[in-house]
Amino acid sequence: MPIAMIVHGGAWAIPDEQVEPHLAGCRAALAAGWAVLEAGGLAPDACEAAVRVMEDAPIFDAGTGSVLTSAGTVELDAAMMDGRTLRYGAVANLRRVRNPITLARRIMDGPGTFLAGEGAEQFALAVGLPLCENDALVVERERGLWEAWRAGQVAAPQYGAPVGSQGPDQQPSAHAVGGRDTVGAIALDSSGNLVVANSTGGTPFKLPGRIGDTPMVGCGLYADDFTGGAVCSGWGESIVRVALARRAVELLERGLPPQSAAEVAIRNLARRVSGGSGGCIILTPAGRIGLAWNTRRIAYAYRQEGGEPTWGC
């Protein structure tokens, strides 16, 4: 069976000067995942390897470098789903785990459920994953933005603003900060197994305890070996309302090619939710790609067997 992989590094108005670091991060993540697949490795390992690279790269809103909550802390969400068994592992509101995707993977391989907060961190300790200080996940850029927000010098993203106005899908205005760079990956291994994964720090200045689409199965991600996998990014509250990832896979089930499925899913998001904005990546069991967004940009990289890596932003 052909191997294939696609990763994304966030769907929002990525500023011009951040395009290159986003592309570099996506290329590095793809290379890490591809090395696993090329060596005959498994799709969950490829996804974990790719997402870890992006969690460790401070440019992305995942792991180290994530946005801060209104309380000035980092709270992380992540998930992984296996299209063969339909098992999943999801985590939310993590404050002390450097690589949430690894914890999600352990949960998928173990109890197969969704763990949040303190319970999730206790599970991390139980399976031998170290905890870190919350401060260790905070970078200067985000601390500075949070301080500026507290001082009233910048505003939170204007999610829900009509697409085409000053929403987070547009170039951030001088006052409002933009969206952020949740990361995601889909891998197809040589046994035909499709696995999806994603990781995020959520939205800037979110309420402590807020959980977006990212770790919710059917919203931020979904995979079924028979039809395909989808991973989403963008304004989480809008993505949840249309169960965007499941919707994209359902369109594949109805026979749409992956590119059309991604486009229809994103069009439906904007049609059904006022200001609904985001992006969606798709990979099918045949290794075909779909990619659509209604934000200003999405950073991505993909590779299919026999081909060279392709990327864009």
Q: Which residues have a catalytic role annotated?
A: 182
Least distance from C-beta 207 to ligand ASP, angstroms? Answer: 12
Least distance from C-beta 155 to ligand ASP, angstroms? Answer: 17
- Helix ranges restricted to H, 135-281: 140-150, 236-241, 244-253, 258-272
Least distance from C-beta 33 to ligand ASP, angstroms? Answer: 19
Residue nearest to ligand ASP (CB): 236
CB-nearer residue toward ligand ASP: 60 or 302: 60
Separation CA 198–CA 192 (nearest Å): 20
CB-nearer residue toward ligand ASP: 209 or 307: 209
CB-nearer residue toward ligand ASP: 227 or 233: 233
Q: What is the dihedral of CA 263, 265, 266, 272, to 10 degrees?
A: 140
From 270, 267, 262, 226, select the one nearest 245 (Cα to Cα).
262
Tally of helices (H runs) and strands (E runs) in the chain = 8, 12
Tokens of residue 76, six digits? 């992380």
Binding footprint of ligand ASP on the chain (CB under 6 A) = 10, 179-180, 182, 200, 202-203, 212-214, 233-234, 236
Least distance from C-beta 126 to ligand ASP, angstroms? Answer: 26
CB-nearer residue toward ligand ASP: 181 or 224: 181
Distances (CA, A) of 166 to 67, 171, 207: 20, 8, 22
Separation CA 174–CA 16 (nearest Å): 15
Q: Which string of DSSP letters, residue by residue, matches 78-100?
A: EEEEETTT--EEEEEEESS-S-H
Least distance from C-beta 46 to ligand ASP, angstroms? Answer: 21
Question: How big is the CA angle at 260 (ends 258 and 262), to the nearest 5 degrees?
Answer: 70
CB-nearer residue toward ligand ASP: 13 or 36: 13
